[in-house]
Amino acid sequence: MTTRVIGIDAGGTKLLAGLVDEDLTVHRRVLRRWRGEDTDGVLDVLVGAIAEVRAGTGDVAAVGVGIPSQVDFERGRSMSSVHLPLWDVPVRDLLAERLGLPVYVDNDANLAALAEQRRGVAAGADHVVMLTLGTGIGGGLVLGGRLYRGASGAAAEIGHMVVDPDGPPCQGSCRNRGCLEALASGRALARAGAEAAAREPRSALGRAVAEGREMTGELVTELAMAGDATARAVLEDVGSKLGLGIANLVNIFNPQVVVVGGGASAAGELLLEPARAVVRRQVLPPSRDEVRVERARFGEEAGMLGAALLALEEGRA
C-alpha cells in the first residue's frame, strides 16, 4: 500500500492542503483563506484544514508544513514572519501534539524549490534558485543537490533583496524600501495595474476599474492575455524588475535553473520573457549562456507538493 502524507502550503493570504501519495498524486485538496487570525488562530486554521483533508482517508503517515517564515528546521520553529503572526512559535511541536502525527516544518519557498528540483521543471539539476510570486516573494535554494537553509534557517529571503533603494516601502514587518517583493510580487503587480488604469482610463484595465472590478494581479494577467496593451505593458515592466532580481541571483549562485512559481507566475511568458531579457543583458558569462529561467511545473501547488515530499523524505530518514 502506497504511503500517503498531507502537505500544507500556508501562504501570506491563503492555505492549500492536500492528501498526497509517493507519486505526488493529490487525492484531496482543501483551500482556506486567512482572515486576520492571531497566532492561535493560524494554528487553528492549520489543524482544521489538516483534519478536513484527513477525514475518512485511512492511514496518514506524516504532515509536512510550509510557512512564509524564517524557520529553525532542526526544531521546527518559526523564528519570524513578514506575513503571518508566527514569531518564535514552535509550530512543529504544537501541531504534532494536536494531530498525533509526525510533523515536519520548513519555509514555504524552500519546499516549492524541493518539489521543482526533485520532480518538476528543474529535475536533474543540482543548482536551482526558486522564486515564488504571491502576496510577497519567497525564495528557495538548492545547492549541490541539497536545500540550503543557511546558518540558522534564515537563508534565501530573496524577496527582501533591495533592487531600488528609492523604491516603494516593502510589505508587512519589512522596513526596507525597493525590495524585489515591493516591485515584482502579486501585490506589486496589482499596484502597478491600478496606477496604469488611472493613467489610461480608456484601456481595458481602466474600464475594468471604472466598472468596479477589484484590481488584482489576476485581473492584470487576464486582460493582458486578452490583448490589452496597457495590461501587457504593466507585465513587461514588472517582469523587467523581476529580471533585475534574477540577474543578481544568477551572478551570485551560478544556478542551472531559476524557477518562477506562485500565483503571479500565471502570466507566463508575458512576465518571464521581459525577465529573461534583463538576464541576457546583465548576467556575466558563462552563467548568462547556461541558465534557464522557467515557470514552475507545479504552479501554485509547488509548495504543497514540496511539503508532502518533505514529509515523505524525512519520514524515511
pLDDT in tens, 103-130: 999 999 999 999 999 999 999 999 999 9
Burial 33-42 (b: 16+ CB within 10 A, else e): ebeeeebeeb
Residue of 219 and 263 predicted with greater confidence = 219
Residue of 279 and 69 predicted with greater confidence = 279
Whether residue 36 is predicted with pLDDT greater than 60 in this model: the reply is yes
Residue 172: what pLDDT?
76
Exposure on the CB side of residue 23, measured as CA atoms within 13 A: 5
**172: which 3 cell numbers?**
508587512
Residue 15: what pLDDT?
93
* pLDDT single digits (tens) 134-175: 888 989 999 999 999 998 888 899 999 999 999 999 987 788
Q: What average pLDDT score do residues 264-281 get?
A: 95
Residue 317: what pLDDT?
53
Residue 1: what pLDDT?
64
Q: How far apart are CA 311 and CA 305, in angstroms?
A: 10
Q: How far apart are CA 248 and CA 245, in angstroms?
A: 5
The mean pLDDT value of the chain amounts to 93
Contact, 45 vs 8, CB < 8 A? no
| 306: confidence class by pLDDT, cuts 50, 70, 90 | very high
Contact, 76 vs 83, CB < 8 A? no
Question: Quick one: how far is CA 38 from the chain centroid?
Answer: 22
